[in-house]
Structure 1
Amino acid sequence: MTSYPPDFDEFDLVDVWERPWDESQPGTRVHFELGRAEFAAAQLARSMAEQMGSIANVLAEARRHPEIYVVLDDEPTKRQLDVAMDAAVADIAMRLSIAEGTVVAMAHQAEVLRARAPQVWAMFREGEVSAANVRTVAATLDSLPEGRETDAALDSKAAEWAALPPARFTGRMHTLRERLHPISLTERHAEAAKGRRFWRENDRDGMSWLGAQVTASDGEMAWQRVDAIARHLAEQPGETRTLDQLRADVVADMLTGRSDPATEPRATVGVLIPMMSLLGLSEQPATLEGFGPIDADTARKLTAHAPSFYRILTAPVSSTILDVDRTSYRPPADLKRWLALRDGTCRFFGCGRSARLCDLDHTEQWAKGGTTSAGNLAHLSRRHHTLKDESRWKVEQRPGGILTWTSPTGAIRTTDPPPF
């Protein structure tokens, strides 16, 4: 990769870092700092390979010894094996503060590279190929049927191109994939189209990202239509929005139905707004269900003009709602609405699934004396609800909706409900 001077030892960099610079030789200083950066990049790749390998090893151990994560009285059933694997994934994710999906992806990438691209994996462990390029290799192999000759050809070429920047490397891998793939592009496109989807990602300052994966032809047609409408609007007298803003507004109008009132959708959305903000006496932010904080002015407009919004007012000082123990198993509607706004998402450490799509779980089981109250209820995704009930994971709830999770291997993390 990097060509160092004959007397330059990469592994002596740690010692060299402390040596004084020769201020009369700026070129030496530049070369020194470049060496440090390159050494750090190699170390980063080595560390990432080590982490991916360790994650894959932990999941392999959980597969071989599910009793680490679930209580077994006999041979494990398939469900117990699945729960054990999910519990192990959650354990890794919590310890490393990464998403569970990332854990699964990293383990899978390590397994694919070990089995199908051993040359690239060895280079990765030596810090000779970046994590970005390694992910591209794993994704490319995933999209190809397994075959010794195909895998060997891709592994060899990927190792040859390892030092290329990610964009250039990805382009070459795409071209190589087309040459190696035994199935026609027509058949592959028909299969790929089944995976089309639409998604949303919350952003800061009251904004959201919307994304869609569609066929290339639909994507181009959609872009051309949105762009044409935006450019037409841009030519109107008095229009001050940029083209980017206009395109975003055009898409929002189409999707929300504002461009055609007859098709405007109706939805029920919760807004938690402090009483003083609702009355216009404060600008304290409100909370939009499924999103988070929004400005007080927007919240006032929503509560004033949208009859499909339900309103929960909070105390102006403490921002809390008084609660009493319930005597029934099922929480009443007002309590469910309050808890959905309090929690926002699944309350497992790191899970972002919307509370609307979660189970409202009794932290202390109802059958064991747990009450149906705000102090004993919390939203959990079905996955994490299952882990709580069927694995060695444990959770306790403290006043204020604070949950303390303990993993089967002893890691402890605390999750607070989002602030209002």
Structure 2
Amino acid sequence: MNTPSLAAAEPPLLLDETFPETRVLFGMARAEVAQLSATRAIAEQWAAIADTLREASDFPDVFVENLRPTDNASELAVRAAAADLAVRLGMTENAVRNHAHEAGLLRTRTPHVWAWFREGEFAVPNARTVADLVAHLPEDAWDAFDTAMAEHRLLAPPRFRARARAVASRLDQATLTERHQRAAKERRVWMEPAVDGMAWLNLHLTIEQCRRAFATIDRMARNLQVPGETRTLNQLRADVAADLLGGVLGSANTRGTGVSIAVTVPVMTLLGLEDTPGTLDGLTPIDADTARRLAGHAPSFTRILTHPITGTVLDIDRNPEHIPADLLRWQRFMHPICDFPGCGRPAAECDIDHTIAKADNGTTTDANVGPLCRNHHRVKHHTKWSLTRDATGITWTSPTGHTTRGDPPPF
């Protein structure tokens, strides 16, 4: 692959080197022009995405086929179009839908903000803030909110966000109780993998729930600060929270629910002869000591032994408590996430799809099956997306003819 020259990407600087002030001002002007261009491009991208999804909804025949009587053609077409855009643009389907939603809100509810955004003079974070807040405002407040936000468009994102929230709160005729009840419906918990074998566990809760939970964690952590304890208060809080949520500190009827986690361990690492990292659920690298500990002392973990050089799977440990089909286990280890490009849904939460359907004499073999999340399973079978598998991997073809290779496995 040819790498573009970094030097060639830099424009020639035809300024007298004896005037640094001129060069500084020229550099600032370049940065301002670049920001205007970038913001205009993002606004144009959002508009194009929104227009494309609307076209898919209005003319679903471009994207769908093999419909059942209960299928919604427009909904499936939008799903197929969002997937097509996501693959072409290198973003997630949620991001595609979010951009279309944000563009729709700004266009219809805050036209002045949208106009400034299209001109490149309304920062992208501020546009997202406006879209997020105006989504919850009553129609009779849209004009006033639009005017106020356009006037404050030059504020930096943190200041703009604070001002926008204050204006939205003043214009929203709903009581604080009503707004809180509305917001509380969006409470959730989600996990984000991090580097070095770590991850974030996020909880979006009511302030009362958060304060009560943190107070409990903090109290228990401080009680552990006895002489000889080397962990910091932050580390103690993290360990207490992990033990509480994992059921370690719970009563017999609140202990863990027996979740099975796959640990991939190179043979030489398991034997202690080298320290090649393992992986957790085929997704997250973990250090050798952790891999050995989990594989050796946790019977609820599934152990996978790999060749020390080629990485080929040599053996799969069988869980005596629950023995799923060997093919299903193999698939989920070799394909730990959904086979659709860019999708991060774990294979354990996916359907096992036949590339060539059983109705078309497709076989239930490793070469013909793979995990697809429920959304992409429906997209494959009921829209014009198609999938082929061969010895070199997976190829997807979109309804508009764009082809892309499947993502490589993360481990």
Q: What TM-score do the two structures reach when normalised by structure 2?
A: 0.89
- Equivalent positions of 1:88-99 (< 5 A) are 88-99=81-92
User: Which secondary structure does the structure 2 equivalent of 1:395 belong to?
Assistant: strand
Contact 1:290 1:354 in 2 (8 A): no
In the TM superposition, what are the counterparts of 1:174-323 in structure 2 within 5 Å?
174-233=165-224, 235-260=225-250, 262=252, 263-265=254-256, 266-289=258-281, 291-321=283-313
Please state if 1:388 is matched with 2:374: no
Shift of 1:285: 2.5
Q: Separation in 1 of the partners of 2:372 and 2:66?
A: 24
Q: CA deviation at 1:133?
A: 0.3
Closer, same or farther in 2 for the Cα pair 1:369/1:220, shift >3 Å? Answer: same
Q: Say which SS state the counterpart of residue 305 (structure 2) adopts.
A: strand
Task: Please give the alpha-carbon distance, in whole angstroms, between the structure 2 residues aligned to 1:193 and 1:332.
Answer: 39
CA distance in 1, matches of 2:26, 2:234: 43
How far does residue 73 in structure 1 lie from its aligned partner after superposition?
9.3
Instruction: Select between 37-46 and 303-312 the one with higher mean Cα deviation.
Output: 303-312
Q: Residue 159 of structure 1 corresponds to which residue in structure 2?
A: 150
Q: Unmatched 5+ residue regions in structure 1?
A: 1-16, 324-330
Q: Is the 1:270–1:337 Cα contact (8 Å) retained in structure 2?
A: no
2:391 to 395, 399, 408: 399
Aligned equivalents of 1:176 and 1:73: distance in 2? 47
Of 95, 118, 121, which aligns to 1:125? 118
Of residues 401, 404, 409, the one that matches 1:410 is 401
Deviation at 1:19, TM superposition (A): 4.8
Kept in 1: contact 2:306–2:313 (CA 8 A): yes
Q: 1:54 to 1:380 in 2, by over 3 A?
A: same
CA distance in 2, matches of 1:23, 1:311: 64
Q: Counterpart of 1:164 in 2: which secondary structure?
A: coil
Residues 225-270 of structure 1 deviation map (CA, whole Å, 9 limit, x = unaligned): 323433443x422333333322222211211123347443122222
Residue of structure 1 in register with 2:7 after alignment: none
Letter in 1 for 2:239: D
Q: How far is the alpha carbon of 1:409 from its aligned partner?
A: 0.9
Amino acid at match of 1:117: T
SS of 1:273's equivalent in the other structure is strand
Structure 2 CA distance for partners of 1:73 and 1:300, relative to 1, 3 Å: closer
Please tell me the residue identity of whatever aligns with 1:180.
Answer: L
Alpha-carbon distance change, 39 to 289 in structure 1, aligned in 2, over 3 angstroms:
same
After TM superposition, the structure 1 stretch with the greater mean CA deviation from structure 2, 125-134 or 37-46, is: 37-46
In 2: Cα distance, 1:210 partner to 1:77 partner: 38
Contact 1:269 1:309 in 2 (8 A): yes
Cα offset for 1:290?
6.4
Question: Secondary structure of the residue that 2:173 maps to in structure 1?
Answer: coil
* 1:36 to 2:27 alignment: no
1:316 CA drift (Å): 4.0
> Equivalent residues in 2 for 1:1-40 (5 A)?
18-40=12-34
d(CA) in 1 for partners of 2:326, 2:273: 26
Match of 2:76 among 59, 62, 83: 83
**Most deviating of 258-267 and 374-383:** 258-267
Contact in 1 for aligned 2:307/2:314 (Cα 8 Å): no
Q: Which residue in the other structure is 1:326 paired with?
A: none
Match of residue 370 from structure 2 = 378
Q: Is the CA contact (8 Å cut-off) linking 1:347 and 1:417 kept in structure 2? A: no
Equivalent residue, structure 2, for 1:4: none
- In structure 2, what is the equivalent of residue 49 of structure 1? 43
> What's the % identity of the aligned pairs?
47
**How far apart are the structure 2 equivalents of 1:104 and 1:257?**
37
Q: Do 1:290 and 1:355's aligned partners in 2 also have CA atoms closer than 8 Å? A: no
In structure 1, what is the Cα distance between the partners aligned to 2:379 and 2:164?
39
Residue identity matched to 1:333: A
- Corresponding residue number in structure 2 for 1:8: none
The CA distance in 1 between the partners of 2:67 and 2:234, in whole Å, is: 61
Using a 3 Å threshold, how does the CA distance of structure 1 residues 407 and 231 change in structure 2: closer, same or farther? same
Paired residue for 1:5?
Answer: none
- Give SS of 1:195's match: coil
Which of structure 1's runs of 4+ aligned residues deviate more than 6 A? none
Q: Whole-Å Cα distance in 2 between the matches of residues 141 and 23 of structure 1?
A: 50
Distance 1:55 1:146 in 2: 25
Gaps (5+ residues) in structure 2? 1-10, 316-322
Please state how far the C-alpha of 1:419 moved relative to its aligned partner: 5.3
1:348 matched to 2:340:
yes
Q: Report the alpha carbon displacement of residue 365 of structure 1 after superposing the two structures with TM.
A: 1.5
Q: Which amino acid aligns with 1:203?
A: A
Query: In the aligned structure 2, how far is the partner of 1:248 from the partner of 1:145?
Result: 41
TM-score by length of 1: 0.87
Instruction: In structure 2, give the amino acid aligned to 1:160.
Output: E
Other structure's SS at 1:209 match: strand
Q: State the 1:360 CA deviation.
A: 0.8
Q: Using the alignment, how far apart are the partners of 1:26 and 1:317 within structure 2? A: 56
